[in-house]
Amino acid sequence: MHSATVVIDPAFTVAPVRRGTFGTFVEHLGRCVYTGIYEPGHPTADADGFRGDVLALAREMGVSTVRYPGGNFVSGYNWEDGVGPVEDRPERLDLAWHSTETNAFGLHEFMAWTKAAGVEPMMAVNLGTRGLPEAIELLEYANQRRGSARAEQRRANGADEPFGISFWCLGNEMDGPWQLGHKTAREYGRLAAETARGMRQIFPDLTLVACGSSSSGMPTFGTWEREVLEECYDQVDLISAHAYYREQDGDLGSFLASAQDMDHFVATVAATADAVGAARKTSKRINISFDEWNVWYHEDESKLPKGEDWPVAPRLEEDVYTVADAVVVGNLLISLLRNSDRVHSASQAQLVNALAPIMTEPGGPAWRQTTFHPFALTSRYARGEVLRVAVDAPTYENKRFGSSVLVDAVATHDAATGDIAVFAVNRAVDAPTTLRVDLRGVGAVEVVEALTYAHDDVHWRATQEDAETVLPRANASATVGSDGVLTVELPAVSWSVLRLRGAAA
């Protein structure tokens, strides 16, 4: 049995809990769109062809924003192909995923889906094969009320009122040699700057995201951010970060500590952005959009098509996640919350089927993967202010990071209600950990609920046949003593949320 202590005081805050932390991502990749969110003729489909079972699960997950339409897909996408009568839309080859894009689902369908799901759209523009003119025309089509050619085209296509999209990504992963239209940092930075200037000449108050590094392991990481921001610092609001993690070669200890890399990523990008800002002698601060993150194995049974095979919506990247994967996802959410002062938006990639918390079968059911649960519960209970907690825990050795703490945690506090949520992971693989949460800075509290996600088989996976053997369970060990200290036993390789209630302000 291990032991650890977390100290919580509402006086030590990081930033408000940002709803944008709980975004996801819908890309035209594999079955994310077709037979994922969109399947006309499905027993649960509505009049627009949206799967009702997926909509219900997206709402249950507490999704706040959805990034669309890519991802690698956007770097070769002509947005005009996805508007107008569906029967007139062209089929295109999607070079990113070696597939055929039917364009049956496009901008109007996506905006209708976001309305049905109750989420904010985050639109990406193609800065791979296209540039400033096409971005401006898309913005005009989406947001101009009436009078201009593109606005009238939208109205003729059935949307009399503008879509009012305020959140825009300026391309995707332009640092990656795999990206269609890959550019150097200087080339991309200048293109992002001129695109941003043009878009702001129409709508000055947009939120614009420049492309940062596609992983902290890229050879250009750090240099890319500096050079891009030297070109477009004054024109953008956020710079993106992308990171994926997986268990490799049976090294569970390193995998469970993946949030250390995310913390390092955020700190490095923030420092680089601040250095550029300091050199410019500006008070403006560039923050971070962590708009792709997840566990991703690239080892599903389906393989990227090749040669003359250009299928429609093939099964691609359909990872089936384990309990350990869910614990890591919960820990990555802890990292995102802990860094809420700099991470203003995040998107778990992706929502359905492709490396996703929700799985579907064509014509059949939808179900929750293991990773669904920590996301849904964190989105539901993180409210108010993120607190800067002190963690005192033993360390363990692992191959990737050298040394990592056994317990990682963050807390949120809603002063209006007195609600406190503590999110904690136990990375120990050999034994439970007794966690003491020192609440003396909070005052008298009661335990409202304690939920833990864990299983003796950390590689258990949810399937269509069995998605409910392992669910978050009540943790009856959580008690608050007369000394104001909460004690709870955290099973090995587990994620937990502890809900407490104190006095309201």
Residue ranges covered by each domain of the chain = 3-9+386-501, 21-242+257-315+332-381
Segment (H or E) for 392: strand 390-392
Exposure string over 262-295, b if 16+ CB within 10 A, otherwise e: bbebbebbbebbeebbeeeeeeeebbbbbbbbbb
Phi, psi angles (nearest 5°) of residue 460: -65, 140
Kindly state the average pLDDT of the residues 120-128.
98
Kindly state the average pLDDT of the residues 222-238.
98
Res 440: pLDDT: 79
Residues identified as active-site: 173, 292
Residue 470, pLDDT > 70, answer yes
**pLDDT tens digit sequence for 431-459:** 999 999 999 788 889 999 999 999 999 99
Phi, psi angles (nearest 5°) of residue 112: -65, -35
How far is 91 from 65, CA to CA, in rounded Å? Answer: 28
Kindly state the average pLDDT of the residues 467-476.
97
Q: In residues, how long is the chain? A: 505
Amino acid identity, position 468? E
H helices of 298-407, in order, are 323-338, 372-381
Q: How confident is the model at residue 488 (pLDDT cuts 50, 70, 90)?
A: very high
DSSP sequence for 118-154: T-EEEEEE--SS--HHHHHHHHHHHH--SSSHHHHHH
Average pLDDT, the chain: 97
Of all residues in the chain, the percent with pLDDT exceeding 70 is: 99
**pLDDT tens digit sequence for 335-353:** 999 999 999 999 999 999 9
Residue 318, pLDDT > 70, answer yes
**pLDDT tens digit sequence for 419-430:** 999 999 999 999
Phi, psi angles (nearest 5°) of residue 373: -70, -50
Burial bucket for residue 101 (CB in 10 Å: 0-12, 13-18, 19+): buried
**pLDDT tens digit sequence for 280-297:** 999 999 999 999 999 999
Res 296: pLDDT: 96
pTM value is 0.97
Q: How confident is the model at residue 132 (pLDDT cuts 50, 70, 90)?
A: very high
Residue 2, pLDDT > 90, answer yes
Res 484: pLDDT: 87
How far is 22 from 65, CA to CA, in rounded Å? Answer: 7
Kindly state the average pLDDT of the residues 368-377.
98
3-9+386-501, CATH topology level: Immunoglobulin-like (2.60.40)
Kindly state the average pLDDT of the residues 194-207.
98
How far is 21 from 342, CA to CA, in rounded Å? Answer: 11
- Contact between 378 and 371 (Cβ < 8 Å): no
Q: How confident is the model at residue 301 (pLDDT cuts 50, 70, 90)?
A: low
Residue 300, pLDDT > 80, answer no
**Beta 65-68 vs 23-25: how paired, if at all?**
parallel
Res 121: pLDDT: 98
3-state secondary structure of 434: strand
21-242+257-315+332-381, CATH topology level: TIM Barrel (3.20.20)
